[in-house]
Amino acid sequence: MNKEKYVFAQLISFLNEDKFRRIVNKYQANRYIKHFTCWNQLLALMFGQLSNRESLRDLIVALDAHHSKSYHLGLGKNVSKSSLARANQDRDYHIFEEYAYYLVNEARHKRVSDIFKLGGNVYAFDSTTIDLCLSVFWWAKFRKKKGGIKVHTLYDVETQIPAFFHITDASVHDSTAMKEIPMNQVHITYLTVHTTTSKCCIRFIR
């Protein structure tokens, strides 16, 4: 009998569950919840992302196929489509956003370097448009017969890890989205923005 942990269980063992629990308590998201907690929801969504599921139904089918392994995968009790859909709709997305930025910062600290010898961080700012079907995502209208959203990303060049994400309508230009970048004006001493091409580059020297 194989007594080793499954790969997915090994991956989630690197996550700081205590930090996530504190964030959940901040938003009181597990209040009155008995079974499908925010942690279970996070792991279910991670499983779907890592296994390349294409829809909520596809994810549930995959989870059902591993029903007997759910506990060992760290997922707890198996989840129904209605429970996951309700959780995705009702729970505050800030919980997962805050935890994601915590993980990003942890990863950046582990990969910190000083390639450019500038005494500060060097960032690149770019975006990508994700096409969406208008008949399904009616709220994401981009053009007459086309839907979509745009993901704007602030990329830490030295650590090679994104530092900030911002999702907008597909028609929003990078120069507009740049205003949403959280900047501590006290610590930023120099800022240059290059817009000679279709891409923008920001250099922060702290």
Going by C-alpha positions, the residue among 40, 12, 10, 8 that lies closest to residue 24 is 40
Q: Does 15 have pLDDT greater than 70?
A: yes
pLDDT score recorded for residue 190: 42
Q: State pLDDT tens for residues 61-103.
A: 998 888 888 877 777 777 888 989 999 999 999 999 999 999 9
The yes-or-no verdict on residue 6 having pLDDT over 80 is yes
Which residue did the predictor score with more confidence, 175 or 94?
94
Question: What are the tokens at 30?
Answer: 């597990």
**192 pLDDT exceeds 60?**
no
Mean pLDDT of the 154-165 span:
89
Domain boundaries, the chain: 7-97, 111-205
* Cα 32 to Cα 189: distance, rounded to the nearest angstrom: 47
